[in-house]
Chains A and B, each alone.
Chain A
Amino acid sequence: MSDLDAKLIKMGEQIVSNCSFSNDQEVVIAKVADHLQRFWDPRMRTAIKKNLNDNPDAASDVLKNAVNQLTT
């Protein structure tokens, strides 16, 4: 995995921890997805999506689910 891919996952997981407030996983996933959608350049969203498809063990379930919800 490239340094950049690893960094995107690290950033994504940071968002997950800071949004993990509700006990309801769906709420957390939606929050994380919304954050990525609103603040990440589409190139970063595409890159993390592709990377997590190739390396499903590299991220938490919450992050993977959130990334899967992204439109681009």
Chain B
Amino acid sequence: MNVEFYKRFGPELDLGTPKVEADKSVSLKIDGAEIHVPEGTSVMRAAGLAGIQIPKLCASEDLEAFGSCRLCLVEIEGRKGYPASCTTNVEEGMVVKTQTERISSLRRNVMELYISDHPLDCLTCPTNGDCQLQDMAGVVGLRDVRYGYEGENHLQAEKDESGSYFTFDPSKCIVCSRCVRACEEQQGTFALTIQGRGFESKVAASQDEAFKDSECVSCGACVKACPTATLTEKTVIEFGIPETATVTTCAYCGVGCSFRAEMQGDRLVRMIPNRDGHANHGHSCIKGRFAFGYSTHPDRITKPMIRDSIRDPWQEVSWEEALSHAATRFKDIQKEYGVKSIGGITSSRCTNEETFLVQKLIRGAFGNNNVDTCARVCHSPTGYGLKTTLGESAGTQQFDSVMQADTIIVMGANPTDAHPVFASQMKRRLRQGANLIVIDPRRIDLVDGPHVKADHHLQLKPGTNVAVLNSLAHTIIDEGLENEEYIQDRCEREAYETWRDFVALPENSPEALEKETGVPATEIRAAARLYANVENGAIYYGLGVTEHSQGSTTVMGIANLAMVTGNVGRAGVGVNPLRGQNNVQGACDMGSFPHELPGYRHVSDGTVRAMFEKEWQVTLDPEPGFRIPNMFDYAVEGSFKGMYIQGEDMAQSDPDTQHVTKALMSMECVVVQDIFLNETSKYAHVFLPGSSFLEKNGTFTNAERRISPVRKVMEPLAGKEDWEVTVALSNAMGYKMDYSHPSEIMDEIARLTPTFTGVSYEKLDRLGSIQWPCNEEAPEGTPTMHIDEFGRGKGFFAPTPYVATDERSTRKFPLLLTTGRILSQYNVGAQTRRTENNEYHGEDRLEIHPADAEVRGIKQDAWVGIQSRAGETVMRADITERVQPGVVYTTFHFPESGANVVTTDNSDWATNCPEYKVTAVQAYPVSQPSEWQRNFKAYSKEQAELVSKRKRDDKAKA
């Protein structure tokens, strides 16, 4: 096999100043060598590119040059003095010397000053061997410090160990301000400053607070930037400097950041964001950077387990026994209740290869199309809406495209919490002057953040997305702001005219809809102009768009808005879904939906089916199967009896928890494959231990269609990678699968999927990552889609009538509950709750406006009951003006808070994506947990006992 998937990665080179793109090339001589570099490149970088490392301390490739340390000085022929090479740009014909007697002596002087105020405890310093100050002392040949160490110094400065993941030891600080600049330029939080002047100057977080109490969001950018041991990861302090590194991809959110997993043997010491990562360019957030401790948490289950009934204790068994037990149960159920009585769920947490295999198992071995994925409950409307209008179920751009946007619309998304690294990039563009329109019922951080302000915040009532989009579209038509030439060229005329005439109707005017949406007409009109009148308008959206009864219509409304203004098909524009989970795009691409084979092709298409049937050697069902909610409904009804669930925790994540648990309890065989005993496994009959992203090879596809490698850095704790488990289950069911490496699965995907024909592991190794479509027309992938024509040929303006949701506030349920996420926790929290991230967010809370709290007698931090027609739960109150009156908000990261006990079975008309974002509720002070919570606690206790009492099988091979 010609796959170098385990290739070793050397140390990350730092060329000192950022890469510059320019059409013009400049040639110069450095230390006698002739060099050609793009115009605008620094002398330091040019030298680095020629293999000459100029000493430096305050410069880093991740940051703009600053020129404060004076260590990088050089001689330039014809110029006086010794300019700093980091702040001096190359010029045609320049002749540079980087080493002379005089330069050496000046550099030694600089180092001498630094070292005279630096502790000399190198041998016991945590970053011994990974310290740029130490390196530079060596490089400049420092032998002596004439000033002595007795003078005034900072050696007694106190350490700040308040942060969960890194320490701040000011005694080692050289005040190079790299940390301050990283926090500003890379992260955009502005938490750090240099306080004081001269000898007094020091780094301070916020108003000289402890890091934990400051505005710091623990992204780790300053820690990576720090050239000394001042800012150091606690894991490095504990374990020491890593020995090897492997490049892999974050398994949290849909940004898909590339990381260097830095190891000592098979211990992961730290995750360092990869500068060559195409999605993140060396940046990260708290989750990917620090929250990896869950992967070796003692809660990991490492042996397969089975039980006959969910009230029985578990029994550890061998892999063979567990798999043959599951296979026999499934086959028996099918014999008794029919082929279509079982189904399965692919996971957006797992790799493309694993997802592909699970749907193949269901279609091939189960012999039906009862396959779905957690995208059902998040971005299924994106699939439907973008396929209908543009012709491809995916975002149109790459993340970098935002750097060319002039007006950015963020709708129903909270990027600073849910997609932090992309948010940092967007904030960089906003600081450069791009306009921002936020459409959200809640005042998210972007509305009014450090150095970022929204030009318009359309604070709509939950459930009125389509009305707002129609009134924006109305304004564009009404005021003649449409791009007629683009529409004429690129879109279906008849559909356009029908849509245009519809949105132009007086009932769709901002004035007419003002009462319904709660957004002043003048704001809508101004926002429409700001989007339509610029060169490049870009729309980014999230689950606040999709998780509604009109989720699909909203997605189509967004696409219509982009088309009518000519904002699809080049850099800087586009329609961009921000995907929730790491591989939600991939799971959808890989054919996880019951009506679609991989590559979004309908199961009723005979030609496509024939191709798969030939490759897979089975007959495929031409009819769509059940979606997740249908599976649950039919389980309760009695004809759906068994499920294979890979890496999804529906008992916590899906709406109307009580309905979900009833459905799970009604089934005869529930097989859960996961790294932890999650909520769903409390209702399972077979538990198959999963592998974390560190324990397997494969690929993830992020929100920009970027396929990135996931590389194994440690052996699976339970002995099998997840794809191997699916292969074994399939073989146990009698449907043969035979792969020796995930690259072979990718080869099969490439053979069967037109948008993936050019993808291979060899190419991923070579290019780092690939954005699909990748095929003959685009051998290295496609950063921007729909350039000359749309995926479907002509763009289609889909009709978008506004249909108000049934979930309206009533006398009984006067408030509207909407749900969301927080930066430090991730989704159901199975991973992040098992890390120190809990110190940042330890419980879900109900956000409520002061006015609503006051009339109900609800006090800050007090218990409050929340009831909807589906159920009741209790959590603590957080009184805040982030939410508007009449709206309450919560997160769903903790199972016991039961946010989804309250959400209902209402769903998107086209895809059944649940309406998480609107539930009519009442809120009131209470003194004890709800009945559901009491039952939940009792059942969880019982299940925990069934686990701890499990029959151990020491022979069971893990």
A interface residues with partner B (beta carbon < 8 Å) = 2, 4, 7, 11, 14-15, 17-22, 35, 38-44, 72
Contacts and interface: CB of A to CB of B under 8 A. Distances in A.
B803 A18 contact: yes
Chain B contact residues: helix, strand, loop or mixed? loop
Nearest to B552: A18
Nearest to B340: A43
10 shortest interchain CB distances as A-B pairs: A21-B799, A14-B909, A17-B803, A18-B909, A42-B623, A41-B626, A4-B637, A15-B909, A4-B633, A21-B801
Given A18-B552, A43-B639, 14 more contacts: A7-B633, A11-B907, A14-B549, A14-B803, A14-B909, A15-B909, A19-B799, A22-B799, A38-B595, A40-B624, A41-B370, A41-B625, A41-B627, A43-B634
A8 B275 CA distance: 51
A20 B801 contact: yes
B602 to A, nearest CB: 7
A15 B502 CA distance: 19
Contacts of A15: 909-910
Contact of B910 (A7, A18, A20, A72): A18
B340 A11 contact: no
Contacts of B905: 7
B617 interface: no
Given A2-B637, A7-B905, A17-B803, A38 B624 contact: yes
A22 B498 CA distance: 9
Interface string B910-949: 1110000000000000000000000000000000000000
B128 interface: no
A20 B627 CA distance: 24
A19 B798 CA distance: 10
B909 A21 contact: no
13 contacts: A4-B633, A4-B636, A11-B909, A14-B549, A14-B803, A17-B803, A18-B909, A21-B498, A38-B595, A38-B602, A41-B623, A41-B626, A43-B340
A21 B502 contact: yes
Contacts of B228: none
B626 to A, nearest CB: 5
B624 A39 contact: yes
A18 B907 CA distance: 13
B488 interface: no
A43 B595 CA distance: 14
A17 B909 CA distance: 9
A41 B907 CA distance: 17
Nearest to B799: A21
A42 B502 CA distance: 34
B553 A41 contact: no
Contacts of A41: 369-370, 594, 623-627, 630
A72 B604 CA distance: 14
Interface in B862-911: 905, 907, 909-911
A17 B801 contact: yes
B232 interface: no
Most buried by B among A18, A21, A22: A18
Contacts of B595: 38-39
Contacts of A44: 630
B434 to A, nearest CB: 34
Most buried by A among B370, B626, B911: B626
Contacts of A7: 633, 905
Interface string B591-610: 00011000000101000000
Nearest to A37: B604
A14 B548 CA distance: 12
A17 B799 CA distance: 11
A24 to B, nearest CB: 11
A11 B801 contact: no
A18 B553 contact: yes
A34 to B, nearest CB: 11
A45 to B, nearest CB: 9
Contacts of B801: 17-18, 20-21
Contacts of A19: 799
A38 B909 contact: no
B340 A38 contact: no
B802 to A, nearest CB: 10
Contacts of B769: none
A35 B912 CA distance: 13
Contacts of A14: 549, 803, 909
Interface string B616-646: 0000000111110010011011010000000
Contacts of A35: 910
B825 interface: no
Contacts of B630: 41, 44
Contacts of B907: 11
A35 B384 CA distance: 11
Contacts of B553: 18
Nearest to B594: A41
Interface in B548-603: 549-550, 552-553, 594-595, 602
Contacts of B636: 4
A42 B623 CA distance: 7
A16 B912 CA distance: 14
Contacts of A39: 595, 624, 910-911
Interface string B528-554: 000000000000000000000110110
Contacts of B369: 41
Nearest to B801: A21
Contacts of B910: 15, 18, 35, 39
B549 to A, nearest CB: 7
A15 B553 CA distance: 11
A49 to B, nearest CB: 15
Contacts of B370: 41
Nearest to A7: B633
A11 B912 CA distance: 8
Contacts of B550: 18
B475 to A, nearest CB: 20
Interface string B365-400: 000011000000000000000000000000000000
B604 A38 contact: yes
Nearest to A10: B806
A27 B627 CA distance: 27
A47 to B, nearest CB: 9
A68 to B, nearest CB: 19
Nearest to A20: B801
Interface string B330-353: 000000000010000000000000
A10 B767 CA distance: 49
Contacts of A18: 550, 552-553, 801, 803, 909-910
A14 B905 CA distance: 13
A40 B604 CA distance: 12
Interface in B761-811: 799, 801, 803
Nearest to B640: A43
A18 B595 CA distance: 20
A67 to B, nearest CB: 16
Most buried by A among B502, B595, B623, B639: B623
Nearest to B466: A18
A20 B802 CA distance: 10
Nearest to A40: B624
Contacts of B502: 21
B588 to A, nearest CB: 15
Contacts of A38: 595, 602, 604, 624
Nearest to B909: A14
Contacts of A21: 498, 502, 799, 801
B281 to A, nearest CB: 40
A50 to B, nearest CB: 14
Contacts of B552: 18
A26 to B, nearest CB: 16
A42 B639 CA distance: 14
Contacts of B625: 41
Nearest to A18: B909
A72 B594 CA distance: 17
Contacts of A72: 623
Nearest to A42: B623
